[in-house]
Amino acid sequence: MNIGTAISVEITKAGVKKIDLANAMGVSNVTISKLCAGDLCSLPLLIRAAKALGISPSSLLSRAGELTSRKLETPGKLKINSKVALN
């Protein structure tokens, strides 16, 4: 999974709405939607998102790595993950 999924997970864990995160970060709701979809990613945005969610940027990146490494094979289908999480 991508960093956008990790951000979405953290938004859910924090119990906040995307619009509230957008306001806390000083960006538009569209920016948050693109960030969560994985269509937009920059280090400054990730840092701002992490801080607004009350977590460290490294925790957010680690969360993305955990989600990536948890991809499992489904019966009858092989999923090959080309991303490698470095811890």
Give pLDDT, residue 12. Answer: 93
Whether pLDDT at 85 is above 70: no
List the one residue out of 49, 27, 31, 28 whose CA is nearest residue 39: 31
pLDDT at 25: 93
Across the chain, mean pLDDT equals 78
CA distances from 70 to 2, 57, 65, 76 (A): 12, 20, 9, 18
Distance, C-alpha 15 to centroid of its chain: 15
Q: How far is CA 52 from the centre of its chain?
A: 13
Name the token pair of 71: 């991809």
Mind listing the pLDDT tens digit for each residue in 1-27?
Answer: 588 888 999 999 999 999 999 999 999
pTM confidence score? 0.69
Q: Return the CA Rg of the chain.
A: 14
Q: What structural domains and CATH numbers belong to the chain?
A: 3-69 (1.10.260.40)
**What local confidence, expressed as pLDDT, does residue 64 receive?**
75
